[in-house]
Amino acid sequence: MKKRTKPFLSPWRIVFLAVCVLVIAGLGAFLLLNGKNIAVLNPQGIIASKQKDLIIFTVLLGMVVVIPVFIMLFAFAWKYREGNTKARYTPEADGNRVIEIIWWVLPLIIIVILSVVTWISTHDLDPYKKLNSKTDAVTIRVVALQWKWLFIYPDQGIATVNEVRFPEDTPVNFEITADAPMSAFWIPNLGTQTYAMNGMTTKLSLEADKVGEYRGSNTNISGEGYAEMNFKAIATTHKEFDMWVKAIAGSNSHLDWATYEALAQPKKDQPVMYYMLHEPNLYAMIQNKYMDGHATNMHDSDMMNHEGMN
Amino acid sequence: MSKPRLLEQKFLDYKTSTGFWLYLMTDCVLFASLFAIYVVLQPATAGGPSSNEIFSLPMALTETIILLTSSFTTGLALLALRQRNVRQLIVWLGVTYVLGVSFLTIELSEFAALVGDGHSWQQSAFLSAFFTLVGTHGLHILIGLLWLLIMVVVIFKKGLSAKVTRQLGLWGLFWHFLDLVWVFIFTVVYLMGAAS
Amino acid sequence: MWGRLSLDALPHDMITIGGVIGGGLALLAVIAGLTYFKKWRWLWDNWLTSLDPKKIGVMYLVVATIMLLRGLADAGMLRAQQAVFATGDGGPISPDMFQQVFSAHGTIMIFFVAMGALFGILNLIVPLQIGSRDVAFPRLNSISFWLFVGGMVLINLSLALGEFSTAGWLAYPPLSELQYSPGTGVDYWIWSLQIAGIGSLLSGINFLITIFTMRRAGMTLMKMPIFIWSVIGSMLLVVFAFPILTATLSMLSLDRTLGMHFFTSDMGGNPMMYINLIWAWGHPEVYILILPAFGIFSEIVPVFSKKRLFGYTSMVLALMAITILSFTVWLHHFFTMGAGANVNAFFGIMTMVIAIPTGVKVFNWIFTMYRGRVKFATPMLWFMGFVVTFTIGGLTGVLMAVPGIDFQVHNSLFLVAHFHNMIIGGVIFGFFAGLTYWWPKFTGFRLHEGLGKAAFWCWLIGFLLAFLPLYALGLMGAARRLDSYDASLGWQGLFIVAGVGLLIIALGVLFQVVQVGYSIWKRRELAVGADPWDGRTLEWSTSTPIAEYNFATLAPVTYRDDFWEQKHRSDIKEPVTLVEPIRMPKNTSLGVVVGVLATAIGFGIIWHMWWLVLIALGGAIVAVIATTLQEDTEKIIGVDEVVATEKDLRGVKL
């Protein structure tokens, strides 16, 4: 006589196991994540803040599909398992117009909604778009080197390495180039990253809501010292910023072309440096190092509405 | 040939020519990539000569006429093949070969002149793209001529078998395809280059 | 005479030396074994020169498995560095070595594991499923395999002689140009891929023509198994995308060898063009990998649900939609390169649109289970794991398709988690499902179920532990490819969890290796017939072992899932077909010769040994010419032999 054994994995046992797993996972996640700076979800500036909202919106929209998929997957797997002879069995059923239309159309609707949001947000978050603000913007020119970041303040006449400071609540217009393999400039607490490329300028506008010190890094492999290309992005009060600029302007370190060439040599373990900017055209000269053969139509900095790469 | 054998050969013809067409399409994509980068890099002259300074339209036109004629003689050759007229076939293939060699000679002399003047592929991105695009086409022509030579030798030794007939058909496709690519090169590189 | 090769090229650090010695010893062991058991002739006649796709398929899988082990070892080094040594003063893995390791890891996994397993499965299954005896161009098939091996040889040779690229698996310029990478590393990367890539392209042509011209009479397009449709999609992508790779690699090589300026920083070069071109190939490539995995699931779910596939037409439309759409999204790999809002938004939207047909497929599979009778054998477990992981990966993919979001997480560990999610959860799980499903067809015995289930759970749990933390790390601002980071960031705990995850995956692989070995040992107990799963498609109608010619007769088919109909319909009349002599291609050494010569060409270019390049090139041309002139390329299997074989293998009297 065939002995009827209870299956090891009854639904309640599965639920119990699942709950255990989730509790352990939750605890683990809590232990590993509590108190840490989850920068992208902890925006300190308007751009990053909008991006976080986008993330939340998209995840929630995605849940409209993901949750039913998981529910159906497990429900059907359980109900229609081989051992359950009580369930209906229709081996020849191979389609249902209505259902198929539903799940072509439902995702389509979700994607249409997301597309509209994408179109709008992509234009709103275009790094070339200047931020609206009552305060005047600060222009900072960034040069990715091997393996450090050079920051040139054309209006303040100073330059720094591996530390960028700017006033809070003020749009910062970054103009970015490289004298190194392709790099990427990223301050996750403040938002968008942008590639830094030889012989051309990319632009990025960010703004910090309040005073704070944030981590910046490179995300694009650029040689042996790539992992060391971290810098500090420090938002200060207006007064502190002015004082800081003044202090540097009076320092003895000068950045001219010769000093720059020495600085640009591939080297690891670069400490933070402050310079008085002795060569006002330094940024243009660095970019022009590679521009001998390019046509003039790339990244014209006076273009009002930047469109496309050419 | 027995009927099953005939059907088999027909199927082989069909399979092989479809496959070869597909290969030609992939070659098309390859050339498309080279054209794409040529178009982007055409203005990047790095202080060296630009396209309107180094291209000779009369020479390019000569090359074009040579290749177009060679496509015509290829057509005549394949007609002769249809009629199983070996002598005519060899004659027209021979003329095609001579035209192909002439084309390559002119092209190589153009390259040599440029390099002699110091305008090699190392001078600028534009020249790199030019030499590569046109050179890749020239390399294909060289392979086509080599292929043609071998075909002619095989015809002499073994006559017109089903296999040889099939392969000549493929060769003809290849040659016409190269002619078509050349028309694009003539237009995009030489005509548009001389005008810019 | 030696170009730039010198004794300096030998490895200097203990880890590489260890790897070379280990690999060398393994190779020596194999050679010794073959010599001792006097199997060289057997290997040459039965495997290396064979044009039987079933044998070529097995060889692909063997190579892919070996490379999987190397790729996992690479992953182990990366995880170890990031979990243990990255916060300190260094450790045994220098930054330069770390960068070579992750470049090799990605390159190997995509080109030699995934593509190798893909073509292995295609060779084994496609001819059988369409009811044919061979692929369209058998000699080309062999050439493709040996070109694949040539590329594999080069990338492994880089361990012993010279170095590997440190520019990542896609070698962006200007880092990959001479200015920043003067050594042999990038050249090894270029030629290893160029050679293997041409093999892939030729296979793409081969399988497309096979499917279009060699299907069994009566098998119209809409009666083909969905797996075959997925192969059509994948191979269409191969023939359109791989020439772009060929062109781009050539241009980078011309820059590095002949001083050209396609992608250099100066003299007018345009690195952004490289990025466009390489991703115009690169994006279709990932669909080349995933579409057949989808196809495999479309085979498995109906068989293990004992129910017809839900929505065949929808599935075909979805596959073709995904195929076409995959050409319209490549820019999403570099939203941060500054293309402007209109361009970014367009590509972002196109990327999201792909989610629609993909979602349709998932729903159709789930609804195939609905009101079926689902048996949770190992292949079905892989399917369940796939839906769970692939859905998560798809969600994060849709997230990154929004340029605004990508601006933050691009090139972070969030991205790394996403693509591993898709490739492991999608491609690898699919291939494992297929291998477990089709194994008995070729061997006559099942793989041990318990070990298979253990392997699955290890892979699933290991995968989740290894990659979910990476999503968190990415959001915490961790970039990819870092060999060091500040301890104060608090990232180490997550990296340790990820490392544990990899160890569990390794345990899963161990289970799989043991499973294969144990199953072979216990094959009599595990023996099954020719149709162990009550299959639906033509491959299950053959004997096991399968005759060299696959099918004794090529009787026309009438229905979709014709074999199933033959078994279960009462009104089927066996068509009477005459047995005829069967023409099969003879073995040839052409593939091996071309592979060896291609490797020599690559090696010569890498080390600037131009005489070697010329000689090998000449040899290759001679070999190709000699082969086209060959007349005696086929053998005939006479009627008597066919009848005897069929009696022997199937107990059938024809």
Per-residue pLDDT reduced to its tens digit, C92-104: 999 999 999 999 9
Structure token digits, residue C618 = 């000449």
**C535 closest CA partner among C561, C570, C557:** C561
Q: Which residue of A has its CA nearest to C181?
A: A223
Asked if the Cβ–Cβ distance from C213 to B15 is below 8 Å, we say: yes
pLDDT of residue B23: 98
Q: Which residue of C has its CA nearest to A295?
A: C268
Query: What are the tens digits of pLDDT across the range A14-28?
Result: 788 888 888 988 888
A304 pLDDT above the threshold of 50: no
Query: What are the tens digits of pLDDT across the range A76-131?
Result: 999 999 888 889 999 998 888 999 999 899 999 999 999 999 999 999 999 999 99
Which band of pLDDT confidence, cut at 50, 70 and 90, is reported for residue B195?
confident
Q: Tell me the ipTM for this assembly.
A: 0.96
Three-state secondary structure call for residue C631? coil
Query: What are the tens digits of pLDDT across the range C381-426?
Result: 999 999 999 999 999 999 999 999 999 999 999 999 999 999 999 9
Q: Picking from A12-26, B162-176, C234-248, C293-307, which range would have the lowest pLDDT averaged per residue?
A: A12-26
pLDDT of residue B83: 95
Structure token digits, residue A271 = 């400490």
- Sort out which chain B residues have CB atoms less than 8 A from C270's CB and list them: 37, 40-41, 44, 125
**C372 → closest Cβ in A91, A95, A128:** A91
C568 pLDDT above the threshold of 80: yes
Looking at the DSSP bridge assignments, the partners of residue A164 are A233
C203 pLDDT above the threshold of 60: yes
pLDDT of residue A303: 36
Q: Picking from A232-246, A279-293, B60-74, B159-173, which range would have the lowest pLDDT averaged per residue?
A: A279-293
User: Can you list the alpha helix ranges (DSSP code H) found in B42-161?
Assistant: 51-54, 57-82, 86-116, 125-158
pLDDT of residue A6: 54
Asked if the Cβ–Cβ distance from C402 to A36 is below 8 Å, we say: no
Neighbouring chains to C with at least 3 Cβ pairs closer than 8 Å: A, B
Q: Which residue of C has its CA nearest to B43?
A: C268
A296 pLDDT above the threshold of 60: no
pLDDT of residue A3: 47
A10 pLDDT above the threshold of 80: no
A98/C contact by beta carbon, under 8 A = no
CB atoms within 10 A of CB C392: 22
Q: Give CA C276 to chain center in angstroms.
A: 23
Query: What are the tens digits of pLDDT across the range C447-460?
Result: 999 999 999 999 99
C312/B contact by beta carbon, under 8 A = no
DSSP B1: -
Q: Are strands A230-236 and A254-255 parallel, antiparallel or unpaired?
A: unpaired
DSSP C361: H
Spatial separation of the C-alpha atoms in residues C566 and C370, rounded to whole Å: 25
Query: What are the tens digits of pLDDT across the range C585-642?
Result: 999 999 999 999 999 999 999 999 999 999 999 999 899 888 878 888 899 999 999 9
How close is the nearest chain C Cα to the Cα of A180, in Å? 8
Q: B 116-175 residues with CB below 8 A of A?
A: 124-126
pLDDT of residue A292: 64
Spatial separation of the C-alpha atoms in residues C594 and C628, rounded to whole Å: 14
pTM score: 0.95
Three-state secondary structure call for residue A161? strand
The burial class, CB within 10 Å (0-12 / 13-18 / 19+), for A304 is: exposed
Spatial separation of the C-alpha atoms in residues C606 and C491, rounded to whole Å: 39
Query: What are the tens digits of pLDDT across the range A214-253?
Result: 999 999 999 999 999 999 999 999 999 999 999 998 888 9
pLDDT of residue C102: 97
pLDDT of residue A2: 45
**Looking at residue B45, which CATH number applies to its domain?**
1.20.120.80
Neighbouring chains to A with at least 3 Cβ pairs closer than 8 Å: B, C
Asked if the Cβ–Cβ distance from C269 to B11 is below 8 Å, we say: no
- Sort out which chain C residues have CB atoms less than 8 A from B126's CB and list them: 268
**C163 closest CA partner among C2, C16, C1, C3:** C16
Check the CA dihedral C398-C402-C404-C407 and report its sign: positive
C217/B contact by beta carbon, under 8 A = no
Q: Which residue of B has its CA nearest to C626?
A: B150
Tell me what percent of the residues of chain C surpass a pLDDT of 90: 91
Is residue C251 a contact partner of residue C261, using CB atoms and an 8 Å limit? no
Average pLDDT over residues C68-74: 96
Instruction: Give me the phi and psi of A140, to 5 degrees please.
Output: -130, 125
- Number of helices (H), then strands (E), in chain B: 7, 0
Q: HSE of C78 in the Cβ direction (CA atoms, 13 Å)?
A: 22
- pLDDT averaged over every residue in chain C: 95
A5 pLDDT above the threshold of 60: no
pLDDT of residue C373: 94
Instruction: Give me the phi and psi of C330, to 5 degrees please.
Output: -55, -25
pLDDT of residue A8: 59
Structural domain of B167: 3-195
Tell me what percent of the residues of chain C surpass a pLDDT of 70: 99
pLDDT of residue B1: 63
Q: Which residue of A has its CA nearest to B124?
A: A293
As for how many domains chain B has, the answer is: 1
Average pLDDT over residues B119-137: 97
Q: Between vectors from CA C420 to CA A36 and to CA C75, what angle results, nearest 5°?
A: 85
User: Can you list the alpha helix ranges (DSSP code H) found in A160-237?
Assistant: none
List, in sequence order, every beta strand (DSSP E) within C264-333.
none
pLDDT of residue A298: 38
Is residue C267 a contact partner of residue A292, using CB atoms and an 8 Å limit? yes
Cis peptide before A147 (omega within 30 of 0): yes
